[in-house]
Amino acid sequence: MPNHDRTFNFSAGPAGLPLPVLEQTQREILNFRGCGASILEISHRSAAFIDVLDSARDGIRQLLGANDDFEVLFLQGGSRLQFSMVPINFIQSDTNRGNYVVTGTWSDKAHQEAANCHGTDMIWSGKENGYSDLPNQTDLQSLVTNDAAYLYYTSNETIQGIQFQDDLSFDTVPTICDASSDFLSRPVDMNNYGMIYACAQKNAGPAGVTIVVIRKDLLAPTINECPGYLNYRNHASANSLYNTPPTFSIYMVDLVCQWLLNDIGGLEQMDQINRNKAELLYATIDELPDMYSGHAVPANRSLMNVTFRLPSEKLTELFLKQANDQGLTSLQGHRSVGGIRASIYNSMPQEGVLALRDFMKSFYTQNSCSN
């Protein structure tokens, strides 16, 4: 069992937060750094909060290696709002279209929403193979259309447990990436991207804030009629204070960035930790194929969301119950696909993954004859 009367929480999101971050929040929650008020209470235009905002922005820049060519925005509305904001901002005429790579549930939803706003092309879909495999860079390069305003993809699909292992890069169009579930989990080369966005509640903080890192030259005024809140330029011009921002969530993002920089040592170190954690579970799945069946093609397995099935629904229910009894919680697969999903984001300690690995092995020993 984990310590601090806390379970090992494998939730896909909102996900666990680093314990040092939670402990610092606890210390500061009543009187924020001598302000005499909580971070939940101070003005978003106060000097104290502007310091937090600037620190969070600088932390993200440092972790990603994002230079002054990029703006870092703190928005609301989650990925769902980005599904609309992207086409509204990037498709400037009837002759431009968004190119979408559909590799799972979330990129499919993004494409559907964009199609409601503007013209789109789904240039690749993994639906026929059950979203278990991914295209390679060369194949996609040949599929980008001549009228493409951008290429959009999701780096990690949480439901299917499938992940691009490298950045995608296209010389002819800006690349836009929904990195919601692997943001700040590994190094990226920002030169490959026009924009990366992520809702925070997987790796970067609590729910409530969406982080957008966008190239400044892509902040051109929109030609079509665009509601003010949906225009990235407005948020950049207002220093992410176009409306009252989610102050507490941004504060937590800042603490997570400082944890990654100072406690972990940066994204290269975080990536190695995450790879080691994922390998513990995937090795167990491969070792015990009579009990556990992974979803994704091995080369494209997610380091964030380990998805697998058991031979029967009865065994799945028993697995979930016994795991929960041992303090291994939120392991049920997404309601649309079932099975098991172990989300092992940055904040999941190796002890939690080892506990799950050991439980998987003992569960196999106790139930292998009942398949």
Label each residue of the chain as H, E or C: CCCCCCCEECCCCCCCCCHHHHHHHHHHCCCHHHCCCCCCCCCCCCHHHHHHHHHHHHHHHHHHCCCCCEEEEEECCHHHHHHHHHHHHHCCCCCCEEEEEECCHHHHHHHHHHHHHCCEEEEEECHHHCCCCCCCHHHHHCCCCCCEEEEEEECEECCCCEECCCCCCCCCCCEEEECCCCCCCCCCCHHHCCEEEEECCCCCCCCCCEEEEEEHHHCCCCCCCCCHHHCHHHHHHCCCCCCCCCHHHHHHHHHHHHHHHHHHCCHHHHHHHHHHHHHHHHHHHHHCCCCCEECCCHHHECCCEEEEECCCHHHHHHHHHHHHHCCEECCECCCCCCCEEEECCCCCCHHHHHHHHHHHHHHHHHHHHHC
108, 167, 178, 254: the active-site residue: 178
- Residue 202 designated active-site: yes
106, 167, 254, 259: the active-site residue: 106
CA dihedral 344, 350, 353, 355 (to 10 degrees): -150
- Residue 178 designated active-site: yes
108, 167, 182, 202: the active-site residue: 202
Active site residues: 106, 178, 202
